[in-house]
């Protein structure tokens, strides 16, 4: 498959228990949203210690699917975003977005900046501090210090930008991205209460659809109730009936309110690797549901005519087709290095 004109592509990576998404815009610009499990080819002493830690090893072993679903064990072979980006022949990143300052969204940030030319970093003016190295949860504290040095203006490896809901500029208008949250008021409350999940950037991506419409792809970070009250009150029409939802907080059940799903009503929901005992799989009642542990990485090809879904794991794609009574094995797409799963067509 050759890349057609006006096609964008999203890569939903399988990165243990964190987040990393890559958008290849039809403008040619590249956006990376969060990073996790990112290592270059040289490991520092701290990185070796993290890789060998029991906490890190435990991440590979936690089952990531509901008990009544098949465990495809893709979590045991996670993606390294640095290697994945190089496979795509990407060497320049236009914008790197830190949705919020939790370590599973910053894991490998220093190596990422060492390996790629990054023009801009989106970050919130959060006040988070980490002082307990033993409580880092199997992550490298050097990554935290690197991030904090950027946030606090000590290091400037890229232009640091702080945007809020309603802000706009030429570049991300051209790339069809809109910030729905946080607002300055939400961030203020998050800083006061040290609730970093609700400080998450929530981003709506709306590439053009045939006939003058727009595809709706919603990146939700780790957003919780405060965020969704704001979004439903102010952007309900924009987030209604989305095509793809990247489930907030990796699909984790955090004792939250799920009423927002009656509006969002996704055709497809993509879940990260929330532990199965915490996975809110059954809260998402509409449409197709895919976890990283089933599919491996997921690739979305988006053109005005269609939105196609591809997955790394042949076995999952084959079983999916059989359940749909589709004949034959899933076709392999060399361009995506993944197997075709299904598609939506513009109407």
pLDDT digits (tens, 9 = 90+) for 129-186: 986 654 566 899 999 999 999 999 999 999 999 999 999 888 988 999 999 999 999 9
Q: Which of 2-11, 91-100, 140-149 has the lowest mean pLDDT?
A: 2-11
Q: Specify the pLDDT at position 5.
A: 60
Q: Specify the pLDDT at position 136.
A: 60
Q: Specify the pLDDT at position 4.
A: 53
Name the band, by pLDDT with cuts 50, 70 and 90, for residue 121: very high
Percent of the chain's residues with pLDDT above 90 = 80
- In angstroms, the CA 35 to CA 17 distance is 11
- In angstroms, the CA 30 to CA 39 distance is 20
What's the mean per-residue pLDDT of the chain?
A: 93
- In angstroms, the CA 83 to CA 39 distance is 8
Statement: residue 89 has pLDDT above 90: yes
Q: Tell me the two tokens of residue 5.
A: 């004109």
Closest-CA residue to 274 (of 261, 266, 283) = 283
Q: Which of 5-9, 171-175, 236-240 has the lowest mean pLDDT?
A: 5-9
Q: Specify the pLDDT at position 6.
A: 78
Stronger pLDDT, 189 or 53, i.e. the higher one = 189
Q: Write out pLDDT tens, residues 257-269.
A: 999 999 999 999 9
Block residue for tokens 């220093």: 110
Q: Specify the pLDDT at position 1.
A: 46
Mean pLDDT of 203-228: 96
Mean pLDDT of 268-287: 87
Q: Specify the pLDDT at position 161.
A: 96
- In angstroms, the CA 259 to CA 124 distance is 26
Stronger pLDDT, 84 or 172, i.e. the higher one = 84
Mean pLDDT of 74-81: 96
Statement: residue 231 has pLDDT above 90: yes
Q: Specify the pLDDT at position 261.
A: 96
Statement: residue 3 has pLDDT above 70: no
């Amino acid at each position: 498959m050759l890349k057609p004109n006006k096609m964008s592509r999203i890569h939903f990576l399988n990165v243990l228990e964190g987040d990393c998404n890559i958008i290849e815009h039809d403008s040619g610009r590249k956006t990376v949203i969060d990073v996790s499990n990112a290592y270059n080819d040289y490991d520092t002493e701290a990185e070796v210690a993290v890789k060998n830690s029991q906490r890190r090893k435990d991440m590979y072993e936690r089952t990531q699917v509901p008990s009544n679903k098949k465990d495809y064990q893709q979590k045991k072979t996670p993606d390294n975003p640095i290697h994945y980006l190089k496979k795509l022949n990407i060497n320049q990143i236009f914008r790197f977005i830190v949705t919020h300052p939790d370590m599973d969204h910053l894991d490998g940030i220093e190596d990422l900046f060492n390996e790629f030319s990054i023009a801009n970093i989106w970050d919130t003016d959060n006040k988070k501090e980490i002082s307990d190295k033993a409580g880092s949860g199997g992550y490298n504290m050097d990554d935290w210090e690197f991030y904090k040095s950027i946030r606090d203006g000590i290091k400037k490896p890229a232009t640091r930008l702080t945007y809020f809901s309603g802000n706009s500029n030429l570049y991300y208008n051209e790339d069809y991205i809109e910030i729905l949250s946080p607002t300055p008021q939400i961030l203020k409350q998050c800083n006061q209460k040290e609730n970093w999940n609700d400080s998450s950037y929530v981003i709506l991506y709306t590439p053009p659809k045939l006939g003058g419409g727009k595809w709706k792809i919603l990146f939700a970070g780790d957003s919780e109730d405060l965020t969704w009250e704001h979004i439903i009150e102010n952007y309900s029409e924009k987030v209604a009936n989305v095509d793809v939802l990247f489930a907030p907080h990796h699909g984790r059940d955090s004792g939250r309110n799920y009423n927002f799903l009656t509006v969002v009503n996704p055709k497809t929901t993509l879940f990260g690797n929330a532990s199965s005992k915490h996975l809110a799989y059954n809260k998402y009642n509409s449409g197709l549901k895919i976890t990283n542990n089933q599919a491996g990485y997921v690739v979305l090809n988006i053109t005005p005519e269609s939105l196609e879904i591809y997955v790394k794991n042949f076995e999952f794609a084959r079983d999916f087709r059989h359940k749909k009574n589709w004949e034959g094995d899933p076709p392999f797409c060399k361009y995506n290095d993944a197997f075709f799963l299904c598609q939506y067509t513009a109407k």
